[in-house]
Structure 1
């Protein structure tokens, strides 16, 4: 058990009064595990912006402090200790020292998960400090690896909507998204590479001059002001799920040849990067009717043109959200994962 934000004296006072020893560890310490795209900095801190980026470590001690900041006040982290109830932290542009006091000094497993997405702010985890203890050997990560490419649904938008329907960035929760739930069901690591409002060839508003999937798939941080190119050698997925298209179709059905040829080029790029990886295409949960049928037909043509046994198509059921928000609800995300996992398990022989 632990208490996040409980009153604590400063490390200096603790040491003076109680001989408490405070040890500092960088976020690039080899005993700290990271799942997701991050940029390590020279001072030992790490930056990231995609949702679901997870930092894990095992620790012994009386307490620990996380030093963190964002480029805005719209970013949220959640901290989970020993798989207990998550504790949500709102960041700001001012560096914060976030305390967590353990009720027992026995070993604990800590997970820090980024809830927001890129346009909410770019987050920096600076370091951790531990009272009368230190980092322990990390727990093994799953051997299977997934990469999920998508838009706001993949990012977990509006999963934790409130009864008053007044949307804030606290509504996002990628941990409960179909992608992370599916990965958990398959015992796989997962990286989410997604951006709300974006598509394959155009954004929700019809613009083609913004970062869309072929652009941000290449990036660690998809922020035009400080974009960072991703080194694909850092993470080789066994399986890529591409769930893009809803925003391309928001202004109507896009021109067929442009859409299909762009998707074919993206698939060929991914196969070039990952010669043994399987790719699954899906049209996602929001589209219905004529638009859903058109996108499914486009994906079928992509599969035919690429003509690879490693390219698969899995269609989705329609999950329309509710009267509060058009994005799928928490329960609908769980249903989406339940729909999807058996197909991926069969394809991958997992």
Structure 2
């Protein structure tokens, strides 16, 4: 507990009151004691955690030019940290128009945080935590393009601290319009209050795969044409911030964060803005080139809503994978009928869209949504010598997996050293499995199953 300078004066007042016989002096001192007791009880020694503390995880496009106050404004931008030893948690934000979902240990809190100060302001997140470890996530959920927010730190009660929490291995990038931004997804009425990117199909999909994500979505935006002649998403794709008109934004460094898969759900606004199929297909080809220039090995999935540039998108993707010889590019048609405000998905619709997209991405990547318990992984070390699975590096991005007894179709898993499932694969007709490790971070991994045993693989970058 920090030293409280009020206490010596409090003791002096008590001493004077006891030894004085004058009524007015007693009354004055009694009042002083009461005020001091009130003041003393409300003094708190906050522990400030600076925004550049390496134990804080950031997901989204942040500008770190001032590491003590990183800036952001895309909806879905997320700040994550693990705290312990503190009952209270506050954050300091500069944001005059932001709504934020607060998640504690994976549980969404019932009331969002409304940041309404254009200057630095402290906001309370919770005041009754146990001293155990707790993971807290702060998610900007609405779309105030005119408000660029700044994060100035975390305040904990005395003795509180933050410790590192591992980031998910998988990385997913989502690009879209109001259906991806969560426009009116909760209810009709106040657009900013009821828009919530954290409840959209995109965020639900990344959560299903336990992946990091970056969501770049803006209501009313198109791939080629946006209503009212506004900028298209490809025109904003290279920016750190989502701004309207001539708003200033630094350029984004694509080398900072490379996704495993990029999913683009656009075309609704292009369709309403009169885009022709041939020009829209050309825009798809152009955007593929942009994405491939930034992420040469990423999968690309284009989603179109039925009747909204779906034929143009399907044709363009087919040409990419045949005539143009570009692999790893896919198309999916979304047929989900929506019941939300002004022809937008509500939370039930978003769940249905996410379920269908998750199934498609499973087909593309081979990823699974199952979990692997740490207790199960602890048994791996005892089964290495008896393993029927063998793994050998073929080159710097390919591992050949073989078995002495298992044949085509036999499923195997790849887990990391913490027990998290990384990939699920199966042996091909020749009795082998080729593991593409191009997107896998450096470290130890285990390949196999509980019945066949495990082979240990070290990926070095």
* TM-score interval for Structure 1 and Structure 2 normalised by the shorter chain: 0.7 to 0.9
Task: Identify if the C-alpha distance between structure 1 residues 304 and 172 changes in structure 2 by more than 3 Å, giving closer, same or farther.
Answer: farther
CA distance in 1, matches of 2:144, 2:298: 26
How far residue 126 of structure 1 moved from its aligned partner, in angstroms, is 1.4
Task: Identify if the C-alpha distance between structure 1 residues 300 and 250 changes in structure 2 by more than 3 Å, giving closer, same or farther.
Answer: farther
Match of 2:168 in 1: 142
Among 302, 323, 332, the residue aligned to 1:314:
332
How far residue 306 of structure 1 moved from its aligned partner, in angstroms, is 4.1
1:156-176 deviations in Å (ceiling 9; x for gaps): 111111xxx323211111121
Among 110, 121, 124, the residue aligned to 2:150:
124
Among 346, 356, 361, the residue aligned to 1:329:
346
Unaligned runs of 5+ in 1: 1-12
Partner SS, residue 263 of structure 1? helix
How far residue 82 of structure 1 moved from its aligned partner, in angstroms, is 2.1
Match of 1:5 in 2: none
CA distance in 2, matches of 1:148, 1:120: 22
Match of 1:66 in 2: 91
Query: What is the Cα-based RMSD across aligned positions, in Å?
Result: 2.3
Task: Identify if the C-alpha distance between structure 1 residues 154 and 219 changes in structure 2 by more than 3 Å, giving closer, same or farther.
Answer: same
1:230-278 deviations in Å (ceiling 9; x for gaps): 11011100000011111111133x1333322222121112111111111
1:194-251 deviations in Å (ceiling 9; x for gaps): 111111121123x1xx321111111110213122211101110000001111111113
Among 37, 41, 45, the residue aligned to 2:69:
45
Task: Identify if the C-alpha distance between structure 1 residues 267 and 118 changes in structure 2 by more than 3 Å, giving closer, same or farther.
Answer: farther
CA distance in 2, matches of 1:116, 1:290: 25
Among 241, 260, 263, the residue aligned to 2:263:
241
1:16-74 deviations in Å (ceiling 9; x for gaps): 5588532112222101001111112425112111111111101121212111122x43x
Task: Identify if the C-alpha distance between structure 1 residues 212 and 118 changes in structure 2 by more than 3 Å, giving closer, same or farther.
Answer: farther
Q: Which runs of structure 1 show a deviation greater than 6 angstroms over 4 or more consecutive aligned residues?
A: none
Partner SS, residue 248 of structure 1? helix
State the number of aligned residues.
325
Unaligned runs of 5+ in 2: 1-36, 368-461
Among 122, 127, 140, the residue aligned to 1:97:
122
Match of 1:251 in 2: 273
Alignment of 1:220-299 (within 5 A): 220-223=240-243, 224-252=246-274, 254-284=275-305, 288-289=306-307, 292-299=310-317
How far residue 289 of structure 1 moved from its aligned partner, in angstroms, is 4.0
CA distance in 2, matches of 1:14, 1:189: 46
CA distance in 1, matches of 2:195, 2:366: 32
Match of 2:234 in 1: 214
Kept in 1: contact 2:55–2:165 (CA 8 A): no
How far residue 334 of structure 1 moved from its aligned partner, in angstroms, is 0.1
Partner SS, residue 102 of structure 1? coil
Higher RCO (CA 8 Å, separation ≥ 6 residues): 1
CA distance in 1, matches of 2:300, 2:194: 30
Match of 1:347 in 2: 364
CA distance in 1, matches of 2:138, 2:88: 15
CA distance in 2, matches of 1:269, 1:107: 42
Kept in 1: contact 2:82–2:135 (CA 8 A): yes
CA distance in 1, matches of 2:242, 2:308: 31
TM normalised by structure 2 equals 0.66
Match of 2:451 in 1: none
